[in-house]
Amino acid sequence: MANNVLIIAEQRDSILKKVAFEMLGLGAELAAALGGKVEAALLGAGLGDLPDTLAQYGATRVYVADDESLASYSSEGYANTLAAFIQAANPQPAIILLGATAMGKDLAPRLAARLGVGLAPDCISMEIEDGRLTTIRPIFAGKALAKVRLKGDPQIATLRPNVLAAPDPDPAATATVETIAADPGTIRARVVDIVAAGEGEIDVAEADVIVSGGRGVAGPEGFAPIRSLAKTLGAAVGASRAAVDAGWIDHLHQVGQTGKTVTPNLYIACGISGAIQHQAGMKTSKVIVAINKDPEAPIFKIANYGIVGDLFDMVPALEKELQALLAE
Ligand X SMILES: Cc1cc2nc3c(=O)[nH]c(=O)nc-3n(C[C@H](O)[C@H](O)[C@H](O)COP(=O)(O)OP(=O)(O)OC[C@H]3O[C@@H](n4cnc5c(N)ncnc54)[C@H](O)[C@@H]3O)c2cc1C
* Residue with Cβ nearer ligand X (178 or 294): 294
Choose one: 53-61, 81-89, 224-232, 265-273; the region binding ligand X (CB under 6 A).
265-273
Q: Does residue 16 belong to the site contacting ligand X (CB under 6 A)?
A: no
Find the binder of ligand X among 61, 241, 253, 283 (CB under 6 A). 241
Q: How far is the CB of 299 from ligand X (least distance, A)?
A: 7
Find the binder of ligand X among 20, 86, 311, 318 (CB under 6 A). 311
Q: Does residue 142 belong to the site contacting ligand X (CB under 6 A)?
A: no
Q: Does residue 293 belong to the site contacting ligand X (CB under 6 A)?
A: yes
* Residue with Cβ nearer ligand X (137 or 241): 241
Find the binder of ligand X among 79, 242, 249, 303 (CB under 6 A). 242
Residues 44-103, interacting with ligand X (CB under 6 A): none
Q: Does residue 238 belong to the site contacting ligand X (CB under 6 A)?
A: no
Sheet strands (E) in the chain: 5-9, 11-12, 15-16, 38-44, 61-66, 95-99, 119-123, 125-129, 132-139, 144-149, 155-159, 176-179, 209-213, 236-239, 266-270, 287-292, 305-308
> Helices 102-115 & 75-88, crossing angle to 10 degrees?
50
> Helices 311-327 & 224-233, crossing angle to 10 degrees?
20
Q: How far is the CB of 282 from ligand X (least distance, A)?
A: 9
* Residue with Cβ nearer ligand X (37 or 278): 278
Could you tell me which residues are beta bridge partners of residue 7? Answer: 40, 97
Q: Hey, how many other C-beta atoms are within 10 angstroms of the C-beta on 194?
A: 9
User: What is the 3-state composition of the chain as percent helix, strand, coil, each rounded to the nearest 5?
Assistant: 35, 25, 40
Find the binder of ligand X among 161, 216, 225, 306 (CB under 6 A). 216
Best CA proximity match to 15, nearest among 39, 50, 63: 50
